[in-house]
Structure 1
């Protein structure tokens, strides 16, 4: 089922910057009423002030790892708006990690808590209300092409995004007989503060605004899985098809993601 061209109610986590903020700007321009959730109240307030008709949007300064606070924000948005049409779990973090370094174990745990567990906690309060609405709705998981193959020095991030893809696929099957569609968007390199920390070439780097417009169109169609930009989708399929010996030979010396230094 295709969504209306102007979705009414859109709840976005990770809205204070990056992909989340770009999606907020795109949906506000399409006339939606937004629930903007992120850790930084000042960034959320600045974003809302820059959107059309800022008074109709709702801000929630919440860490997605605080599941109780996240559930309260979801319930407040549902009460205020009478339901939700799209929920986008966009909150995510990325750090380089090395399994041999014991100080990186908490980083693994933090990446999974934010990228995977918080996604489940984001969707959970919305599933029953969306099913009860009986109208076309979307739960949107922001994955990554990094979840398609593991990369050197990025075990936590790649594994967390692979988990996102599998979790969203499971949820899609659970909700198959309902009006709720689960959409997985797998960004390649998108020009955001997160990717600007990368110390290696980023092919097919896509402006955040263009990504948001393409993602919103895919969400409206109810695409089950979409890689953006499309060129990265082609590259990802080729990577997946590489035999392990050839993949290992090519990528064993690839640049590593920057590690989070211990405090």
Structure 2
């Protein structure tokens, strides 16, 4: 299978790895990033054929800009077969600190409203066509709340629930909604973490597995599978035991740190 894939957050990390995975599989690319010059340089470095990709500049926090990017993709390249809402941020917060409430707002604006706005231009055309896949990148961190991760964990829990709701709405029309929850992936978002990261994956390994998951049309998948087992165990732990296990765990860096 090959076609057109549209990916947000394509200038680094998971998004960049997904773009290269799809390109090597013969797909055309619609790539979205704030830093379009960086993305263009990367495309040239990788010797991507210009006729097989297009770059759209948009910040997913800007609803007007990201929906316009989706509409521009449809006009220039056609309706994608796969849309991957990958753009996201991870910042630690302390809810006792007033300034961190604004950080939390920005996390939600990116990880949640930005994801919904990414999908919005494509939903009705896909439903009318009767095919397509909308892929939301969540996180294992959305399974349970971790100290210092209140904004990120809650935003990714919302991604999981949002995609589940959307899946029920789209299923009768032949459009798939796929939720992928990465574990720890070696990206700029994770390299400053000050705690252990079990089963750390390289972005290209994650992208290869995610590509398979989307092609299979799975509704929800944790990558790697080992983190899926860990996530199930964490979900089953009684609160008292879960809290004791996390006592003293290093917290995510706050923006001010």
TM-score, length of structure 1 as denominator length: 0.95
- Report the equivalent of 1:30: 25
- Report the equivalent of 2:96: 100
User: Is residue 2:218 matched to residue 1:223?
Assistant: yes
Q: 1:96 to 1:229 in 2, by over 3 A?
A: same
Question: Alignment RMSD, CA only?
Answer: 1.1
**1:217-243 deviations in Å (ceiling 9; x for gaps):** 000111000000000000000000000
**Unpaired runs of 5+ in structure 1?**
none
- Report the equivalent of 1:192: 187
Match of 1:141, SS state, is strand
Match of 1:96, SS state, is coil
Match of 1:185, SS state, is strand
CA distance in 1, matches of 2:104, 2:243: 23
CA distance in 2, matches of 1:51, 1:88: 23
After TM superposition, give the deviation of residue 51 of structure 1 in Å. Answer: 4.8
- Report the equivalent of 2:67: 71
CA distance in 2, matches of 1:53, 1:132: 31
CA distance in 1, matches of 2:93, 2:85: 23
Match of 1:171, SS state, is helix
Greater than 2 Å deviation, 4+ residue runs: none
**1:105-144 deviations in Å (ceiling 9; x for gaps):** 000000000000000100010001111222x310000000
Determine if contact 2:60/2:110 at 8 Å carries over to the other structure. yes
Determine if contact 1:91/1:115 at 8 Å carries over to the other structure. yes
User: Is residue 2:120 matched to residue 1:124?
Assistant: yes
- Report the equivalent of 1:20: 15
**Unpaired runs of 5+ in structure 2?**
none
TM-score, length of structure 2 as denominator length: 0.97
Match of 1:206, SS state, is coil
Aligned residues: 256
Match of 1:161, SS state, is helix
The partner residue of 2:204 within 185, 205, 209 is: 209
Determine if contact 2:149/2:251 at 8 Å carries over to the other structure. yes
